Structure 1
Amino acid sequence: MPSDDLQSPTSEMVLLTPSGENAPKITSATPAEKEREGSAESNTSRVAMKKQLGLLEGVAIILGIIFGSGIFVSPKGVIREVEAVGTSLIIWVLCGLLSMIGALCYAELGTAIPKSGGDYAYIYEAYGSLPAFLYLWDAMMIFVPTTNAIMGLTFASYVLQPFFNDGCEIPKIALQLLAAVTICFLTYLNSYYMKITTKMQNVIMFTKIAALVLIIIVGSVYMLMGNMENFQQPFENSETDPGKLSVAFYSGIFSYAGWNYLNFMTEELRDPYRNLPRAIYISLPLVTGIYVLANMAYLAVLSAPEMIASNAIAVTFGNKIMGSFAHIIPIMVAISALGALSVHIMTSSRMCFVGARNGHMPSILSHISVKSYTPLPSLAFLCLLSIIMLVVSDVYVLITYSSIVESFFIMLSVSAVLYFRYKRPNMERPIKASSLQFETFA
């Protein structure tokens, strides 16, 4: 471990409860000293997670989870429903604006309630134990492990695809085994090597952006060469049915999912009052701009029928226009899925840890490693559940059900902003989403 970490006075690997039960004595320090040193101590001598995430790591976490595999496949879901280029691009812009509004609400909540756990912590503070309990168990048992399994399978499919050409189908057992190994490996890294994991996220973040920038540049060059046929009548035959527009909107929102995940790790963020809103203000406009430009590139090269017929938009895009360099796209998609999976494992384990600390999960899940200051039991628990999800034959059914519930709880979290404005008008708010005035930039 790096020399600046606190050294355990006992064994190298000791698990302690947040209450400090059976814990070695730790010398008390002032809050200012603890902030400067990045100590894992607390003023009650309990072991807590270390503040080791700065602004760059915060941006990397948000971009790492948003830039998963969604943008490389989900544009098909939007264009299939709206059937018009112009309407499709409007949907992507509106999804970005809605995500930004949601992120601002979460920034207010995250700085007013600087606790890890994200939605769980805010629902618990606003509405009490029962709604928080229901959210936590839905998250831990369904959509968190399901999402991990899907990301693992996505990574595995893109890694194995080059070895199964000529229409050969990848064996299901191969996908499952590689996905399981990947989930276990990333869980291990997040358990013992947080600094390596966060540095890896920084590298993967730039790799993901590079993949999308490559698509944008190739598409832009294609358009500058005069290939603008697909944009000549952008709203022709556009769908106006509210049901189909809603489905298209949901497909777009799916690609933006993850903007709230930094809030799960507020306790590990250095100077959260400044870095949390700054990370949001940097990340969300960047994501929206890149997504809109990437979709313009897709739509310039591929017609609407070609996009609808494709099962992997980015791969079809590369095969049509990049020639011998088309193999770069599957590699970059695999890296994107790997990075998103690592971030999701890291952040979701904190929500499990906070729930156990409040008595809503088994107490063993509230233990922290003295050596690495990570919620080791929570990480192992979610790893096991994710591997179990790999054997489910149709995980897409679970995704559909869990996404509906997850959306409901996100709206419940956002409603907590209004609830606190009414019930706790004097509550300290370093940022107010409505005024858009950040004291953090003063």
Structure 2
Amino acid sequence: MEETTLRKRREDEKSIQSIEHKTTNLQKELGLFSGICIIVGTIIGSGIFISPKSVLSNMEAVGPCLIVWAACGILATLGCNPPQVVIKLLAAAAILLITTVNALSVRLGSYVQNVFTAAKMVIVVVIIISGIVLLAQGNTRNFENSFEGTKLSLGAIGLAFYNGLWAYDGWNQLNYITEELRNPFRNLPLAIIIGIPLVTGCYILMNVSYFTVMTATELLQSQAVAVTFGDRVLYPASWVVPLFVAFSTLGAANGTCFTAGRLVYVAGREGHMLKVLSYVSVKRLTPAPAIIFYGIIAIIYIIPGDINSLVNYFSFAAWLFYGLTIFGLVVMRFTRKELKRPIKVPIFIPILVTLLSVFLVLAPIISQPAWEYLYCVLFMLSGLIFYFLFVYYKFGWAQKISKPLTMHLQMLMEVVPAEEAPE
């Protein structure tokens, strides 16, 4: 009895010592496997199960469609129709659940990501193997004259890339969590080099599988390409397709919440956003305020329009900022030569990506102007106004609003400013 009591006391003392050695900061709990799961799991969402229709509608032929999917990979290195309000409420509930999971625990968010990545890879493999079997049986008629009828324009190419790159988005997400990645100088580029070619190969093979059972016209008429594929190939087990599409979508949302929340956290820490967004949970060591803020913005995004509007919103804004960021890399290569660069790339790569970003931003607007682009610009400008009022100039009346709000949020969420990690 006494030995048991002494053993328990020693274990408690070790636990207390372990807690004392942890600073109130984000912890390095992610390895290479988790890094690859974030890359693959965040990229493969609902896009590959829906986007083939949009890509094909712009390219108008099978051959150019497959080329766009391959090019997007290089550049990136539910069958029923419920009411829209139900879909959006379900999406909001999913965002709230994912936000809660990632605010509670880094490790739990990582485990959820690994499980959903494994689940989505199951359906990806099933679709690819089914397509290979069908091709071996001689179902190649849809690939005959695959470049016939192609009518290309700069705007159509840009919109096709918008939809394709939306399915590839996530290629940059691991950059946001380098503070929590073990050996980031090795694992960051390695995870990207392994993850993106893996996704590219899967996407091309999945598109090939789709075209083995659907003509271009049938694919364009499908509301959800993967579900139609499942109905034709996997019957009577076709019900698994929408289930795994849901898993895939949740996995991508979880990965994005996990990583983009860190971007908000660093922005707050560097003084680009409110300081409260850089605070860390005392008990759970997660950037809870930043994750919750990201979840709120995500819910706002699902309110307007349909999936195509969201793709246009996202792609326009994303590639505008991707281009500006990468152009900044080019400028700093010449103006800040003294900076240490643990990860280096040849200068022609950022120059090429900058030029491609300019094309992706301007070509669709010039060829097919739409209100989505104006809404997106206004949304970004509203953020700029908020930044100057509450962050940059710090007007007295703005401080009277932000300081009490920060104090109450800090007490409510039990968060504090992050401590400097020991050397």
Above 0.5 in TM-score?
A: yes
Tell me by how many angstroms 1:240 deviates.
2.8
After the TM superposition, which of the residue ranges 173-182 and 79-88 deviates more from structure 2?
A: 173-182
Q: Corresponding residue for 2:52?
A: 75
Amino acid in structure 1 at the alignment position of 2:60: E
The residue number in structure 1 matching 2:287 is 375
Residue by residue over 1:375-432, the C-alpha shift from the partner in whole angstroms, topping out at 9 and shown as x without a partner, is 1112222333333444445575455244312211101112233223212334333332
Q: Within 1, Cα distance between the matches of 2:148 and 2:316?
A: 32
Show the counterpart of 2:397. none
Deviation of the 1:7 alpha carbon? 7.4
Letter in 2 for 1:74: S
The answer for the alignment partner of 2:105 in structure 1 is 193
Question: Does 2:319 correspond to 1:319?
Answer: no
Which of 42, 63, 66 is matched with 1:89 structurally?
A: 66
Aligned CA distance change for structure 1 residues 430 and 330 (closer, same or farther; 3 Å)? same
The farther-off stretch of 285-294 and 373-382 is 373-382
Relative to structure 2, which stretch is displaced further, 274-283 or 321-330? 321-330
Pick from 241, 261, 267 the counterpart of residue 355 of structure 1: 267
Give the aligned partner of residue 296 of structure 1. 208
1:92-103, aligned counterparts within 5 Å? Answer: 92-100=69-77
Aligned residue runs from structure 1 range 205-224, under 5 A: 205-224=117-136
Equivalent residue letter for 1:213: V
Query: 1:385/1:249 Cα in 2 relative to 1: closer, same or farther (>3 Å)?
Result: closer
Mapped contact 2:41–2:116 kept (Cα < 8 A)? yes
CA distance in structure 1 between the aligned counterparts of 2:88 and 2:15, rounded to whole angstroms: 37
**Relative to 1, partners in 2 of residues 1:389 and 1:241: Cα closer, same or farther, differing over 3 Å?**
closer
Alignment of 1:183 onto 2:183: no
**Is contact 1:389-1:395 (8 Å) kept?**
no
Matched, 1:232 2:209: no
State the structure with more CA Rg: 2
Give the C-alpha shift of residue 321 in structure 1.
Answer: 1.9
Distance 1:394 1:298 in 2: 24
Report the residue type matching 1:295 in the other structure: N
Cα distance per residue 1:270-304 (max 9 Å; x no partner):
11011101101110110111111111111111100
Give the SS at the match of 2:236: helix
Q: Percent identity?
A: 40
Q: Which has the higher helix share?
A: 2
Q: Which residue of 1 aligns with 2:277?
A: 365
Structure 2 residue 181 is the aligned partner of structure 1 residue 204: no
The answer to whether structure 1 residue 55 and structure 2 residue 14 are counterparts is no
What's the counterpart of residue 261 of structure 1?
Answer: 173
Q: Does the Cα contact within 8 Å between 1:8 and 1:371 map onto a contact in 2?
A: no
- Please give the TM-score of this superposition, normalised by the length of structure 2: 0.74
User: Normalising by structure 1, what TM-score?
Assistant: 0.71
Amino acid at match of 2:59: V
Structure 1: unaligned runs, 5 residues or longer? 10-25, 28-38, 42-46, 101-157, 437-442
Q: In structure 2, how many angstroms separate the alpha carbons of the residues matched to 1:323 and 1:412?
A: 48
Matched residue of 1:431: which SS?
coil
**Structure 1 pair 339–7 and aligned structure 2 pair: CA distance change class (3 A):** farther
For residues 118-129 of structure 1, the aligned pairs below 5 Å read none
In structure 2, do the counterparts of structure 1 residues 421 and 386 end up closer, same or farther at CA, with 3 Å as the change threshold?
A: closer
The match for 2:157 among 216, 221, 245 is: 245
SS in 1 for 2:27: coil
> What is the aligned residue count?
337
2:343 alignment partner in structure 1 = 431
Does the CA contact (< 8 Å) of 2:330 and 2:347 recur in 1?
no
Query: How far, CA to CA, are the matches of 2:41 and 2:85 in structure 1?
Result: 28
After TM superposition, the structure 1 = structure 2 runs for residues 27-176 of structure 1, keeping only pairs within 5 Å, are 39=22, 41=23, 47-100=24-77, 158=78, 169-176=81-88
Question: What is the RMSD of the two structures over their aligned residues, measured on CA atoms?
Answer: 2.5
Change in CA separation of 1:7 and 1:310 when aligned onto 2, cut-off 3 Å: farther
Change (3 A) 1:82 1:178: closer
Q: Which runs of 5+ in 2 are unaligned?
A: 1-10, 349-423
Relative distance call for 1:177 and 1:408 in structure 2 (3 A) is closer
Structure 1 CA distance for aligned equivalents of residues 57 and 73 of structure 2: 19
CA shift digits 1:127-150 (9 cap, x unpaired): xxxxxxxxxxxxxxxxxxxxxxxx
Cα distance in 2 between the residues matched to 1:249 and 1:339: 23
User: Retained in 1: the 8 A contact 2:261–2:291?
Assistant: yes
- Give per-residue Cα distances to partners, 1:30-67, cap 9 Å, x unaligned: xxxxxxxxx5x3xxxxx321111110111111111100
Instruction: Return the alpha-carbon distance in structure 2 between the equivalents of residues 182 and 289 of structure 1.
Output: 29
1:172: Cα distance to partner?
4.0
8 Å CA contact 2:44, 2:252 repeated in 1: yes
Contact kept? 2:301, 2:310, Cα under 8 Å: no
